[in-house]
Structure 1
Amino acid sequence: MMAPTEYSAARLNMVEGQIRPNKVTDQRVVDAFLAVPRDRFVPAGLRGVAYVDKSIPLGNGRFLLEPMVLARLLNEARIEATDIVLDIGTATGYSAAVLGRLASTVVAVEADGDLAAQADQAMQTLGVDNAAIMRGPLNAGWAGQAPYNVIVIQGAVAAVPQVLLDQLAEGGRLVTVVIPESGQGVARLYQKSGGQVSSRILFDASAALLPGLEAKPDFRF
């Protein structure tokens, strides 16, 4: 196991080697990734590789997003200090902790009870007091606190559910990786203006599909 100073050095290397060179220009995003110890959100046996440029497996088909992908999504979301953010599929809570450094309030939804418990524990241990971990289906969002200025989905979707777009505030932004049934995965930005949602491709990206957000099988007789 690494010493604390080695984790700090690995975190700095992650930022300088993966995040800054990949068009992450928002200094607040950079500072958030420097501040939050990713090694505290991965299984103990994987802490030595917590800062590599890969998604980290958490079990049951769930992963922490690759740091560069998450950082670029947050950079494009243009999160302001007064924003209320919905974090879908927070898993062990790493993304919620990072978002807590950027936004006023974070509502983080997790369907897996074990992961939600780990996220709760991590929030308490690190003193993150502006992020609430909610347990529920990922494809439903969290209507009780809507509308949100920003929604971030921590994994890939086949398509963004309309219920999530409905939870965006006017001027709100949603960022995620979209992997259609046949095609290359891309990061997309959705924006609500005048009650209508438009989207554009940000960059090529790959991520594991989140449960409940996969492509629905075609119905055939």
Structure 2
Amino acid sequence: MIAWHLEPRGIRDPAVLAAMRAVPREAFLPARLRDEAYADHPLPIGDGQTISQPYVVALTAQAARIRPGDRVLDVGTGSGYAAAVLGRLAGEVWSIERVPGLAAGAADALAATGASNVHVVTGDGTLGSPEHAPYDAIVAAAAGPDVPLPWLEQLADGGRIVMPLEHGTGGQHLVRITRSPDGEPEIERLESVRFVPLVGEHGWHRGRE
């Protein structure tokens, strides 16, 4: 996976590559799909959700520029795989999932793989988790119409948000938003992507699912 799908596509951060090697993707998949664990494409995990392809997980982690000791908010826990990768890079990760069944399954998989610094919360991820803010990085595995205001409010100075945004034509781009010293967000467009909708008070309404 590393040599075929990640390094040739520009994933070069040694810490990200080490995290991708260390986390067993098969541990976050239903038994029937474990033979496909290291294929570079998303896989269904139930409730209309997917586990992101390894390249996208690595790209998001690299773009977030996470370093040891960072506090990270992960929105859209899903299977828990991306949260486990982030946990290898950060000090503490709070991961929010709005589907209770997925949250419970992810928490079990994270515990089984030793990700003790990843904490799964059930709720509306577009609201963030203010009790643990400020965050050095906020990452999302769902595409919204705009950056949720609570995330900007919970971001530390110099912090990064990496998320997919949907634009007017219906396409999506992964973007990085950095909070500058004067508090103004700086936005960089990274790559075209395809994610499930970000549903919540500061995202899409449930009808977009």
TM (norm. structure 2) is 0.92
Q: 1:214 corresponds to which letter in structure 2?
A: W
Between structure 1 and structure 2, the one with the greater Rg is 1
**Alignment check: 8 A CA contact 2:96 2:123 kept:** yes
Matched position secondary structure for 1:157: coil
Partner of 2:30: 43
CA distance in 2, matches of 1:49, 1:211: 28
Of the three residues 153, 164, 168, the one matched with 2:140 is: 153
Cα shift readout 1:62-82 (whole Å, capped 9, x = no counterpart): 111121112111111111101
Tell me which of 172, 179, 198 is aligned to 2:159.
Answer: 172
**CA deviation string 1:144-192 (max 9, x = no partner):** 1011000010122222211111111000001011122424311100000
Which of 188, 195, 201 is matched with 1:207 structurally?
A: 195
1:58 to 27, 36, 45: 45
Structure 1 stretches of 5 or more lacking a match?
1-13
Aligned length: 204
Counterpart code for 2:204: E
Amino acid at match of 2:198: L
1-structure distance, mates of 2:103, 2:206: 25
Structure 2: distance between partners of 1:94 and 1:168: 23
Is the counterpart of residue 83 in structure 1 residue 70 in structure 2?
yes
- Quote the Cα distance in structure 2 between the aligned partners of 1:114 and 1:154: 17
Q: Which residue is 1:138 aligned to? A: 125
**Deviation at residue 215 of structure 1 after TM alignment:** 6.8
In 1, Cα distance between the equivalents of 2:162 and 2:142? 10
In structure 1, distance between residues paired with 2:89 and 2:30:
25
Which runs of 5 or more structure 2 residues have no equivalent in the other structure? none
Larger mean CA deviation between 76-85 and 172-181 belongs to: 172-181
Cα RMSD after superposing both structures: 1.6
Counterpart of 1:7 in structure 2 is: none
Q: Tell me by how many angstroms 1:20 deviates.
A: 1.0
